[in-house]
Structure 1
Amino acid sequence: MIENHRPETIYGTTIVTVRKGGKVVIAGDGQVSLGNTVIKGNARKVRRIGKDGQVLTGFAGATADAFTLLDRLEKKLEQYPDQLMRACVELAKDWRTDKYLRNLEAMMLVADRDTTLCVTGNGDVLEPEGGIMAIGSGGNYALAAARALSDSKLEAEAIARKAMEIAASICIYTNDNLVVESMDAAS
């Protein structure tokens, strides 16, 4: 059960990222729940942004808030081209200090060829341990599954898909309608 669960609040999402074998992948489910009702099963919470779509993103939290943050991140990427870390740090600073942005309820996973990060409204810009990170209501399930599978012969995308499948079988706010984006990682 979600602590302080409010039935009028939209919940649901699981996003996982895996970096392995020269690939980086972000996968997310499509479920959006309002209370105990699924109001949309095919939301697209994973997408490419930036110049030529060279940054993968996945978001969890309020959809409108997440789109606001994605728009802000794209502007930061224009300001700091090919500097994902710098763009994310600048976004986190704004998110934490701007009166309007401070109220946004969302988290993001972002990745490019070199870097994978989690950006939060608390001002956090975190790199994953072992190239794996997950957010959202089913994030802990996907994270545990992906970590368990990381030593296997499976490739990054197969690990992300299996981790999402496991999360969807456990978390009632996660479904198996996946969107998966991948790209070659730096050597």
Structure 2
Amino acid sequence: MTTIVTVRKNGKVVVAGDGQVSLGQTVIKNNARKVRPLGKGDVIAGFAGATADAFTLFERLEAKLEQYPGQLMRACVEMAKDWRTDRYLRRLEAMMIVADKQTTLVLTGTGDVLEPVDGITGIGSGGNFALAAARALADVEPDAETIARKAMAIAADICVYTNDSLVVEALDE
């Protein structure tokens, strides 16, 4: 349970995630790092779901990015194929948002590789709250990071599995 939001605006992409790790109704950790740069730092990824599963997916995606440098879409499609068809990977319970300077994608275990139309997307227990807030703020806030931070604050106020301990990563186009 977590919240990850991505906002793309004015030549900048921002991925923000909260730091809460919950086990049932108990907060185990409040400052986890669920958003991180991948590859040579030209891709940002955020995960929602089981932590060990997410680390497995980060490693798999990094391998695909090495195999297909500069081709985020291709690397993600190839990883999604593996995720869907590999017996071990199919059992992983996580979702990912990945972004480079041009593309934002949501990856799921059902083989989905989705690109949001407006460059704004959210995943996790508070993902829809953050997504709605970010879309509403996109017309009135000047930059992607401000939108992402405010959207995450709104999600943290609503979702009990989201906190306000943020990790924010950004890339300029």
State the TM-score bracket (shorter-chain normalisation). over 0.9
For structure 1, the residue ranges without an aligned partner over 5 or more in a row are: 1-11
The one of 38, 54, 65 equivalent to 2:42 is 54
The one of 166, 169, 173 equivalent to 1:181 is 169
Q: CA RMSD in A?
A: 0.6
**Equivalent position of 1:144 in the other structure:** 132
Cα distance in 2 between the residues matched to 1:129 and 1:146: 14
Cα distance in 2 between the residues matched to 1:102 and 1:58: 19
TM-score normalised by length of structure 2: 0.99
Question: What are the Cα deviations for residues 57-108 of structure 1, in whole angstroms up to 9, with x where unaligned?
Answer: 0000000000000000000000000000000000000000000000000000
The one of 153, 159, 165 equivalent to 1:171 is 159
**Equivalent position of 2:2 in the other structure:** 13
The equivalences for 1:91-110 within 5 A come to: 91-110=79-98
Cα distance in 1 between the residues matched to 2:12 and 2:120: 12
Question: What are the Cα deviations for residues 12-45 of structure 1, in whole angstroms up to 9, with x where unaligned?
Answer: 2100000001100000000011111101100000
1:116 partner amino acid: T
What secondary structure, in the 3-state scheme, does the structure 2 residue paired with 1:123 have?
coil
The one of 22, 30, 35 equivalent to 1:41 is 30
Question: 2:17–2:167: 8 Å Cα contact kept in structure 1?
Answer: yes
The one of 4, 13, 24 equivalent to 2:13 is 24
1:70 partner amino acid: F
Cα distance in 2 between the residues matched to 1:69 and 1:126: 16
- Identity score, percent: 76
Cα distance in 1 between the residues matched to 2:71 and 2:100: 9
Cα distance in 1 between the residues matched to 2:141 and 2:71: 32
The one of 90, 106, 118 equivalent to 1:118 is 106
What secondary structure, in the 3-state scheme, does the structure 1 residue paired with 2:8 have?
strand
**Equivalent position of 1:5 in the other structure:** none
For structure 2, the residue ranges without an aligned partner over 5 or more in a row are: none
Shift of residue 131, structure 1, vs aligned partner = 0.8
TM-score normalised by length of structure 1: 0.91
Count residues in correspondence.
Answer: 173
**Equivalent position of 2:61 in the other structure:** 73
1:134 aligns with 2:146: no
Shift of residue 152, structure 1, vs aligned partner = 1.1
